[in-house]
Structures are given as structure tokens and as C-alpha cells.
Amino acid sequence: MSIGCQIIRVWQFNYSFQKSIPMKNQILINGLLVLLLLTNINLAFAQTENTSDAIPQIYPGAIPSSPAFSLLGVNPEIVLRPSDIKEFKVDWRIKNYNLAPDLALEFQPLWWFYYRNKGLNAYRKVGPLGKILSTTSISMATAKVDNLNHIGYAIKWNLYKEKDPYLDETFQKEFQQNRLEQLAPIQEELDTLYRQMNRAVDGEEKIRISDLIIAKQFEIKALEKQLMDDAQTNGYRYIQEHWNMDMLDFSFGLVQKYDNGGLDSLKMRYAGFGLWINGAKGIGQRGLLTGLVRLNKIGENTDFLVGASYRYGSQKFNFFAEVARHRIGNNFQNGFNEEEVFAAKLDQDIGTGWYEFGDGESTTMTTLAFGGDFRLRYNILLNFALRTQLRKDVGFERFLPVANVVCLMN
């Protein structure tokens, strides 16, 4: 219940026992309540203005794996799509056809705690740097890779996005005009009731008007929720139509590796860092071309990767084919580095563990992957792929099935 409703109820309570209070005290108390009520009316107008400019939460079109998962190399697609999720997201890795204890968390703190509260009009006036900062995404992931536990931390910025419903003038005008047309008549009735309350002298009349005010306030709240739900639905349709929009991301992350095999000990070591840039270009209404350039630094060794993928489909379901070329400086053929305390743990599975190997010649490897995304619900996605690693002689080395479940915790 709003502050105004509470003050009105206090007024009702005052009227119920005012006969037992001396007249001069009644005048003083009623005067204070009038002052509080007038102050609350101004607050009510301000709150109405702010809520009418509220930003609806719109579900994103693309829900790729978290950057921290990508850094650890356990996501199905090597060539990660750019994204701007604006939601709290959880990724689970599927291993041996079961949900493994490997998971990643991702969210956008600046959006949720600052930019989202500025209001739609104010957000549109934010400069280019502020809009980039509003997309700041922080993620953390844990995964057991090549028989060793890893923790990845990543921060990501969306540098460019072709379509944004919050900045689209047509979408914004339609949203705000719809609100104005439906809320204005009810707000006028509420303002009239406030004025009647100020002029009312009889206690029973004040109680009757206060009940009407409370009913109108509940009506406005219900309509606000309905309008916000409609805006979210329209925004989601807008994103569906532009699921393959042009985008560009930049990310940076750190990796630690650890072993908690003992009951009373935890061995943890810094493993290295990675940075990458990935972009996407829409092709027609169903195609999406994505590219990735990534550098990983593991000890004294440097790994470099360039990849490209092509997706075809829609927001609900799409499939992709990708190719990635690796120049691997951290090569296991060079033997372990003397400082690698977890050497005995190595048991290669997916082959992306951040073990530190010795210096030596770099090797090259090509990875092909085929897979897709299937959106089970608007906030749940199944992401899967089959990787094929090729040797220098272009012979098949092995197949690696990889799958994740992604969930937006709206």
C-alpha cells in the first residue's frame, strides 16, 4: 500500500476518536495530517512520473555460453556469439549425458543497479561510453577439465549493437504513448479525488473518498503491470525479428586451477589469462556469420586462435558449422614445465586444460564443430555441438560431443 493510503487510514483512525479530543488539539492534529497528505500528493505525482518512464525488461535474442565458460573451453561453440543478456544467467555443462557440477554465473551489475533505474528517456540520453558500460558483464565459472578443477573469471563489454529496442524511437514512442493513453484518464480521476479530499470536511465523506483513492491506486498499479508485460512481449518480438543483428564484443578473463582432493587442504595456482574479440554479421533474416580472435597466455606460452562460424535458423532454433585454427604454444608435446604442480593430475578429455607445459616449438591444430541452439522456453536454452579435431595431415584425430544448458534467472 502506498504512503498516501497509509496517511488516509491514519486520518480515518483520527476521525474515529476525535470526539474524545479537545477541539484545539483536533485542529492541530488535522492540520498536521493535511500537511502530510499534501506532501504525499507531490510524492505521488513524482512516483507516477518515474514509473511511467520505467524500462521494461526484455529477454535477449541470443543466449550464448558465458564468457568464463568460453575461456575454459568447455562451451559447445568455440566461436562465441556476441550478446547483451541484461539478465542473471546460469550455465550448466552436460557431461556423460548428465548435468555435471560445472557451472557458470553471469550478470550485468551496472545495468541492474544503475542504468536500469535511470528511466527510458534518461537512458536514451546516455553517451556512447555510458551505453558500453551499461553492458558490462561479469561471469565466473568452475569446471573440471582434463581431470583438474578450474575457475575462470571474465568481464565483457558489448561495443556495438545494431538494434536496441530501448533506443528505437518507434518502439519507445509506441510504448510511452500506449501508457499515456491508458493511464491519463485514471490519473485524472485520482487527481480529482485528491482535490475532493482536501475540500472535504465531514469525516464520513473523507472515509468514502479515501476508499475511492485506494481503489484507483490499485487500478493504476494493475494497469502499470499489464502495460509493462505488454511492453516486454512487444520487445521480445522485436528481438526475435532481429535475432541475427550485427554485434561486437570484447572480453578479458583470468584462470586459476586447483585441487581439493585432501580433506584439510586446497591447492590453488594462477594459470593464466585470455582476451578476445568476437563479432557477428547478420545475413538476411536467417543467417549469421560470426568471427573470433583470441589470445591465451599460460605461463610463458602463448596460444592464438582465429575462428569463424555460420548459423542458420531463427531465435528458437538454429544450427551452425564452424572452423577454428589454433597456434598452440602451450604444447603438451614439450613436456611439463617444472613449476606445474598438477602434472600428475592430467587425464586429457576435452583438451582445454590450463596445464603449463615447457617451452618449445608451437604446433597448429584445426577444429571443426557442428551443432546448434534449441530454445526450450524463452529463458532456457540447450546448446550442443560435436567437435572434430584435425591433425596437420588433415586426418581425423577425435570427436568431442559438448553440450550445455543455459537458463536466464528472470
Convert 21-37 into a string of H (helix), E (strand) and C (coil). CCHHHHHHHHHHHHHHH
Q: Is the pLDDT of residue 84 over 80?
A: yes
Same domain, 343 and 272: yes
For residue 57, the SS3 value is coil
- pLDDT, position 224: 80
**In this structure, are 147 and 260 located in the same domain?**
yes
206 with 83, same domain? no
| Residue 291 CB contacts under 8 Å (≥ 6 apart), including other chains | 79, 278, 279, 280, 306, 307, 308, 309
Q: First-to-last CA distance in the chain?
A: 25
Rg for the chain (alpha carbons), in Å? Answer: 29
Q: What is the pTM of this model?
A: 0.78
In a domain? residue 57: no
For residue 99, is it within any domain? yes
Sequence-distant (6+) residues with CB within 8 A of 168 are: 238
pLDDT attached to residue 43: 43
Asked if residue 127 is part of any domain, the answer here is yes
Show which of 183, 211, 239 is a domain's final residue.
Answer: 239
pLDDT of 17 above 80: no
SS3 83: coil
Q: Which residues are 382's β-sheet partners?
A: 374, 405
Rounded-to-integer distance, Cα 80 and Cα 275, Å? 13
Hey, which residues does 267 pair with through a beta bridge? 259
Phi (first) and psi of residue 382, to 5 degrees:
-105, 120
Rounded to 10 deg, the angle between the 23-51 and 169-199 helix axes is 170
Same domain, 194 and 333: no
Residues with Cβ within 8 Å of 119's Cβ and at least 6 positions away in sequence, in order, are: 50, 53, 54, 55
Residues 225, 370 within the same domain: no
156 and 204 assigned to the same domain: no
Q: Are residues 133 and 219 in the same domain?
A: no
Q: Provide the Cα torsion 337, 340, 344, 348; round to 10°.
A: -80
59 part of a folded domain: no
The verdict on residue 295 lying in a domain is yes
Q: What is the pLDDT of residues 236-252, one digit of tens each?
A: 788 888 899 999 999 99
Query: Do 235 and 248 belong to one domain?
Result: no
What lies within 8 Å, CB to CB, of 117 at 6+ separation is none
Strands (E), 314-390: 317-328, 363-377, 380-390
Q: Are both 97 and 205 inside the same structural domain?
A: no
Into how many domains does the chain fold?
2
Q: Identify whether 62 is part of a domain.
A: no
Percentage of the chain modeled with pLDDT above 70: 82
Residue 61 located in a structural domain? no
Residue 238, amino acid: Y
Q: For residue 77, report the phi and psi dihedrals to the nearest 5 degrees.
A: -90, 130
- Give yes or no: residues 208 and 329 share one domain: no
Confidence band, pLDDT 50/70/90 cuts, at residue 49? very low
The pLDDT tens digits of the residues spanning 274-300 come to 999 999 999 999 999 999 999 999 989
**Domain boundary residue, one of 210, 239, 268:** 239
Residue 166: the pLDDT is 85
For residue 376, give the CATH number of its domain: 2.40.160
Rounded Cα gap, residues 322 and 300, in angstroms: 29
Report d(CA 253, CA 235) in Å as an integer.
31
Phi, psi at 396, each rounded to 5°: -70, 135
More confident residue, 53 or 229: 229
- The boundaries of the domain holding residue 382 are 67-163+242-408
Same domain, 146 and 256: yes
Among residues 200, 221, 239, the one where a domain terminates is: 239
Q: Are 296 and 345 members of one domain? A: yes
Helix (H, G, I), strand (E, B) or coil at 225: helix
Q: Is residue 336 part of a domain?
A: yes
